[in-house]
Structure 1
């Protein structure tokens, strides 16, 4: 489980040398509420002997004003409900990622690739975070290189896909994390996706493992040319719906191979995205609509709460204003109007997605010997 030992050090009510009244109690209450939502949406329905794979583009992590201490705990809490998670938009400074790993605890480990300096690479990295109690690394890691006859405009993919092999129980699998280049040319995005997926499908025919292609694919619509390119690969493509904050872009996706040497060694059990905005930072776009799981009187007595936009603004505005001054920036002229943008740099402008896969085929294996 995620680590909370650093909460003890927050008793001095400071946030990067700025006053933060009731920092411990605020963070504890918000974590309790977040854990409530994660339990009901992910943990409660989990099948025994399954694998939960996550993917999350965490906006510019961390390439600007440092995130609040509490934000690291929220991000860690969400990731801790997965067994393994691919992250996109990790920036050159790894100190924030190391800080996040400390919040996850000693049972979590990670791999990260080098910064992409290619044109369009935006100086980003990808990372794989995995719970060593659930998953182990199979000593294969690298980046996907597109064969010369499949090069797009004669060039490799701008942000090279990150690839590694893992195992959960008997289930062997690889993750290939991608952050497809964003731009006006939708066909270029479609070509990048098809080139990566084709490479994974070829591997699947030879290797005894399931290949999972995941990440920020910058898909605009569920029926556009980019999505069609992904679906045309004949990989299994679950429908996660829109994953941006406005709810109108199908940016983040997962797909996995079902045919090949691995045979039928997995089955999709569940999949979804997780929207944290009912529990932390908010506000949810439909603030007046009851969250999927309303809090009971017992929940409220146990320290959980739903907050209005007014309450969130009243809490964060003085803290953020002081922090901006500390970093030589002007406070927001209208914090209410800027709040959505600010929260997108605290958490992200993408929602995390996840899928649960069946990994225990012991009975089928034993029946072969009857």
Structure 2
């Protein structure tokens, strides 16, 4: 469970946090309670005992540009705290934001990150794994996947080197491989590069699974646009299991983020999928809440300190905060000319332009192990 004691320091009398405004801690607390309720209904309360929840989230430009609001760190931590381990993509060079996030998650959480991608197409990004040490332990293997120069038809190497690490939860040994597949545009050559990266990466993981006693899980931002398109087909054609997650961009029309896992190989304990999904945080924090959906809410959801807020109320609250954020930053920017028009884009830099995805796996195979002895004389 994330830490909340920092909320008591959020007042407008001159603490070190930015920006200051009256009622800051009350506002954050109200949104957190809504977020906790929605996470509980979608993920937490429905999990099976002794299972593992694996998450993946491309957190947009974390953190590059204007500093995120204090509340955004709390919301991101609350979502990741619903998982046991999470792969994060699009972390930028400065690790302080990631350290702040892990501190909010609590002392039982740990992390490690890759180096910055400095070559063409890498966009100066890192990847990281954050994990709950009460549920998962690191098995001391971490690295990046590189290719022979001839493996990719249109490039010598992955634009962003896939980042992998081995873990164990209960009886289940697994290796996560986080990726942010090349995008670079929509022309045929760029799309072919995405297909090539997915094909080569999945083939590598399937081959490794045949030799190593662990399940390989490929996850991340794969820049897959269509569920029935050729880039998705490259993933479906792999010898991995692919539980589809639906659209994960905020417009609801791109299937960027996916997971896949090996089902054949040396690993004695195969992956058993219990549930999977994406989590749409917009009904809990920031919005924009579609007016028709807001109007349809029961009256009790629109009352009290934890009430759901309309889009108009969100705009009225955040406009002065955003103006202050932009004008007092280290590199000031003019306030938005049309905040209502820019609001949706602004929220993607506070949270993300991707929804997090997750899957719940069975990790307790003790019944299977004990049942073996029934067959012995």
Query: TM-score band, normalised by the shorter chain?
Result: over 0.9
- Partner residue of 1:360? 364
- Deviations, residues 343-367 of structure 1 (Å, cap 9, x unaligned): 0110000000000001111111111
Displacement after TM superposition at 1:13 (Å): 5.5
Comparing 140-149 with 195-204, greater Cα deviation is found at 140-149
Q: Does the 8 A contact of 1:51 with 1:168 survive in 2? A: yes
Distance 2:46 2:305 in 1: 24
- Deviations, residues 194-215 of structure 1 (Å, cap 9, x unaligned): 1111010001001111100000
Displacement after TM superposition at 1:80 (Å): 0.1
| Structure 1 residues not aligned, in runs of 5+ | none
| CA 1:278–1:304: 2 relative to 1, 3 Å | same
- Partner residue of 1:214? 219
SS in 2 for 1:12: coil
- Provide runs of 4+ in structure 1 moved above 3 Å: 12-19, 151-154, 294-297, 299-303
Q: Does the 8 A contact of 2:18 with 2:69 survive in 1? A: no
| Structure 2 residues not aligned, in runs of 5+ | none
Q: Does the 8 A contact of 2:92 with 2:116 survive in 1? A: yes
SS in 1 for 2:292: coil
Q: Does the 8 A contact of 1:210 with 1:265 survive in 2? A: yes
| Number of aligned residue pairs | 367
Q: 2:348 aligns with which of 344, 347, 352?
A: 344
- Asked if 1:309 is matched to 2:314, the reply is no
Distance 1:33 1:331 in 2: 29
Displacement after TM superposition at 1:323 (Å): 1.7
Displacement after TM superposition at 1:159 (Å): 0.1
| CA 1:218–1:30: 2 relative to 1, 3 Å | same
- Partner residue of 1:29? 30
Q: TM-score, normalised by structure 2?
A: 0.94
| CA 1:296–1:132: 2 relative to 1, 3 Å | farther
Q: TM-score, normalised by structure 1?
A: 0.95
- Deviations, residues 278-298 of structure 1 (Å, cap 9, x unaligned): 1100013x4312699x6784x
Q: 2:232 aligns with which of 213, 218, 227?
A: 227
- Asked if 1:38 is matched to 2:39, the reply is yes
Distance 2:118 2:285 in 1: 34
| CA 1:44–1:296: 2 relative to 1, 3 Å | farther
SS in 2 for 1:11: coil
| CA 1:320–1:141: 2 relative to 1, 3 Å | same
Distance 2:19 2:274 in 1: 46
